[in-house]
Structure 1
Amino acid sequence: GVADRFVTGGVDAPITAGVMQGFCVMKAVSTGYNDEPQRASRPFDRLRDGFVLGEGAWIILLEEREQALERGAPVCAEILGYGSTCDAYHRVRLEPSGEESARAMTLALNDARIVKEEIGYIALHGTSTLLNDVTETRAIKLCFGRRAYDIPMSSVKSMIGHPQGASGAAGAVAAILGMNARFLPPTINYEHADAECDLDYLPDGAEDVATEISLCNCIGFGSKNSALVIGRGEAR
């Protein structure tokens, strides 16, 4: 490679008047919970009506495992595989079948050289919009088949909102911290089952769970999809 180690991650600060106006015109943001804003971000819930704009930064130091161990640094996680696709379906609208998102996840699993049964947790994109959550659920089922119903998964956007360009890094860090703490974060506000979103979204989280490998999924505007397979630091 070109560097022994490098800093990467995601940061976005989209809470501005112009961005909010644009998303309001798109009818992408929640408006039905203005009197109870803490309940507005509710991925996969039947009564969801849009995302809540969020912002933040999540930063990771990447380096070869041997180098980290040599300098006595804790190895929090290991990047095992990556996959990405783009179906150029629409400028912002998602292609509803979820096929290309499923293919990105399959590419990531193949790159990691692991089988589906080894995934212990999925960090979902889960924006709380009507289309995204159904599309992502379909994609998970296409990728994992019946196994999809047995994998715990959640969206931290239920708690932090949608940080836009920082979403991938947020999901990755949530998965890493969860694996190391033996705690899987919840999808809060998941209160009403949706017939089209029927997987295990962990409304209460899960404690004391030994998870060795997680999958992080992202679905961007226009169906730009990516997936990352991450192993717990001392798992492999």
Structure 2
Amino acid sequence: MKRCTKNLYINSQALGINVNDRIEEYSSKEVFNHTVPYTSIKSMIGNPYGASGVLQVISSLLSITQWFIPPTIRTKKDGFEDMNSITETLFQEVNEVAITNHGLGGNNACGYVKRYKY
């Protein structure tokens, strides 16, 4: 089983639009040198449009409480082989998740959830 050395992953909206996907690939390389796992729940739930962000937050909170990174399914990673895209569930400690969300007309947002340690 593949494991990442950090307890952070990116929960990407993954629009499936070439220009957007290339920007995510570029960001993964420039910011994280492709070391941080990327995943998208959209591949499992379809495109819920306006509800995408809240569903990504819910899945990220579940990841933190249940210690797993959900996979991106139905992808061959063609053209994105260098990215650390997760294609099968990783069971490991998760402490932080960055959530990317993109809307029509250029609306972009990034949320960040982190395990509360008391």
Give the secondary-structure state (helix, strand or coil) at the position aligned to 1:121: strand
Distance in 2 separating the partners of 1:231 and 1:137: 23
- Structure 2 residue 103 is the aligned partner of structure 1 residue 215: no
Q: Indicate the RMSD between aligned Cα atoms, in angstroms.
A: 2.0
Cα drift, residue 222 of structure 1: 2.6
One-letter identity of the residue aligned with 1:201: S
Cα drift, residue 157 of structure 1: 0.4
For residues 12-67 of structure 1, what are the alpha-carbon distances to aligned partners after superposition, in whole Å with 9 as ceiling and x for unaligned? xxxxxxxxxxxxxxxxxxxxxxxxxxxxxxxxxxxxxxxxxxxxxxxxxxxxxxxx
Larger RCO, structure (CA 8 Å, separation 6 or more): 2
Q: Which stretches in structure 1 are left out of the alignment for 5+ residues?
A: 1-117
Query: Partner residue of 1:62?
Result: none
In structure 2, which of residues 35, 41, 63 is the aligned counterpart of residue 156 of structure 1?
41
Pairs aligned (count): 113
One-letter identity of the residue aligned with 2:96: I
Distance in 2 separating the partners of 1:119 and 1:228: 16
- Structure 2 residue 64 is the aligned partner of structure 1 residue 176: no
In structure 1, which of residues 139, 146, 157 is the aligned counterpart of residue 27 of structure 2?
139
Structure 1 residues 161 and 175, CA, compared in 2 at 3 Å: closer, same or farther?
Answer: same
One-letter identity of the residue aligned with 1:150: T
Distance in 1 separating the partners of 2:41 and 2:33: 19
After TM superposition, the score normalised by the length of structure 2 is 0.82
Q: Which stretches in structure 2 are left out of the alignment for 5+ residues?
A: 1-5
Cα drift, residue 192 of structure 1: 4.1
After TM superposition, the score normalised by the length of structure 1 is 0.44
Cα drift, residue 121 of structure 1: 0.9
Give the secondary-structure state (helix, strand or coil) at the position aligned to 1:150: coil
Query: Partner residue of 2:12?
Result: 124
